Structure 1
Amino acid sequence: MPIELPRDERAQAVASIERYFNEELDQRIGNIGAGALLNFFLEEIGPLVYNQTVAEVQERLQQRLLELDIELHEDAFQYWRKRQAGGKGKR
């Protein structure tokens, strides 16, 4: 599944790459070069980030599911225990 950015976010990413080359590397890359570099990173490295994020989300969901069991667990057959603890007996 290719990673695609919305048009406005892609434009911001290209501008950021151009700025990085200009300010950090003292080089001009231009709009087309920055767009090509962005495409390369999205295709080559994007899946690594995506897969890692999916794995982390799966782990967090699994932990949350385990917590739900603790939070929502109700013991059965509690009527008589509650009745004894409350001091309510036969009248």
Structure 2
Amino acid sequence: MSEIKFSSAQKELLVQKLQRYFASELDQDLAQFDADFLLDFFTKEMGNHYYNQGIYDAQQLLTEKLDYISDEMYQLEKPAN
């Protein structure tokens, strides 16, 4: 699997979200550099877990949809006497 990377705009948005979270929930100021460093840590150490869960969720949804299509196709079968 390739490394998880964000565009500059995505990373900026995520850093801002971390800063807002620290300010509102923890009543702490998180400097730009610290937030960037923390985001890199989360991405490296935990990102694969979120990525894998997304894959599992997509796989489950695809299985459900394919089962539905298979059932619908079965309904189209005509009796062969």
- TM-score band by shorter chain is 0.7 to 0.9
Structure with more of its chain in helix, by fraction: 2
Question: How far is the alpha carbon of 1:22 from its aligned partner?
Answer: 2.1
Whether 1:77 and 2:80 are equivalent positions in the alignment is: yes
What is the CA–CA distance in structure 2 between the aligned matches of 1:76 and 1:2, rounded to whole Å? 53
| Percent identical | 31
Report what 1:19 is aligned to. Answer: 20
**Greater Rg, structure 1 or structure 2?**
1
Give RMSD over aligned pairs.
1.6
* Structure 2 residues not aligned, in runs of 5+: none
Question: How far is the alpha carbon of 1:19 from its aligned partner?
Answer: 1.8
Which amino acid is the alignment partner of residue 54 of structure 2? T
Report what 1:34 is aligned to. Answer: 35
TM-score by length of 2: 0.82
Moved over 3 A (4+): none
- Count the aligned residue pairs: 78
